[in-house]
Amino acid sequence: MFVRGRGWLWFDDDSESPMELSPGDVTLVRGGPDHYIGHEPGADCLEPEEFRAHHGRDGRSDDPQATVFLCGAYRFSGTSAAACSMRYPRCCHSRQPSAIPCAT
C-alpha cells in the first residue's frame, strides 16, 4: 500500500505494463515471476538488507517528500490453499482500498 509519494510496480517479464502507484493504492501480487517497486520502471532495485546498508543513516528517511509504502509477503500451506490462490489474477490493483476486503 502506498502511503506517501509515487512509484511504479513492474514484473520481470513484459506480460503486463508497469503500473504507477500513488497514495491509497493497494496492490496484491500473486507469487510467480519476480516483481519490483521503484521510482521508475526498470530502475535498479536493492534487496532490503542492501538498501538499509546504503541508505539507513543517510537522512533521507526524515525527508517529508520521501516515498513511503508498506510491503509484505505470505505463504500458503497445503495444496488446496495454494491451488485456491492460483485462481486469482497475478496482480490485483485498487485505487480504493475499501474495495479489497482484507484492506479495510
Q: How many CB atoms lie within 10 A of CB 2?
A: 22
pLDDT digits (tens, 9 = 90+) for 38-91: 999 999 888 888 988 887 777 766 778 888 888 887 777 777 766 666 777 778
CA dihedral of 50, 24, 93, 96, whole degrees rounded to 10:
160
**Secondary structure class of 36 (helix, strand, coil):** strand
Could you tell me the residue range of the domain that residue 79 belongs to?
A: 2-103
CA atoms of 41 and 50, how far apart (whole Å):
20
Q: How much is the pLDDT for 104? A: 41
Q: Where are the alpha helices (DSSP H) in the chain?
A: 48-55, 79-85
Q: How much is the pLDDT for 81? A: 65
CA atoms of 72 and 29, how far apart (whole Å):
10
Q: How much is the pLDDT for 29? A: 87
